[in-house]
Amino acid sequence: MARNRKTKTKTPAQDPLPNEDLEIPDNEKWRLITESGVLGQTTAQTGYLGEDEEDIPLGEEISTATLLIIPMSFLLLMMEMCVDSVTLKLLVTEHKSWWKA
């Protein structure tokens, strides 16, 4: 037989979730961001500071696209062939009586 357990009611001081109605002003948010240094860490890790990317030569873009398109097209073709063969097998097994007539 299962026991009934009494659940404790949480007081507001014990509630681990922050109050959703709490509104932090924008200047306080920016002060916390700059003091913690989080913004500087993210730009240092990514190396992107907002400037434009380098221009990649057209030939390199074409070769990169080709190296991606050929394997993906091959995989798509193989998947299509597998699906078609399974579909054909299902049609033949379901309609054997139709094929014999």
Question: What whole-number distance in Å separates Cα of residue 95 and Cα of residue 29?
Answer: 69
Q: How many residues does the chain have?
A: 101
The Cα-based distances of 65 to 57, 62, 69, 73, 98 in angstroms read 13, 5, 6, 12, 47
Q: Which residue has the higher pLDDT, 11 or 96?
A: 96
Please give the residue that has the higher pLDDT: either 78 or 52.
78
Residue 58 confidence (pLDDT): 92
**How do the domains of the chain map onto residue ranges?**
58-96
Of 11 and 36, which is predicted with more confidence? 36
pLDDT the model gives residue 73: 97
Spatial CB neighbours of 33, under 8 Å, sequence gap ≥ 6: 39
DSSP-derived letter for residue 17 is: S
Query: Rounded to two decimals, what is the model's pTM?
Result: 0.38
Q: What is the pLDDT of residues 16-70, one digit of tens each?
A: 566 667 788 899 888 988 888 877 776 666 655 555 567 889 999 999 999 999 9
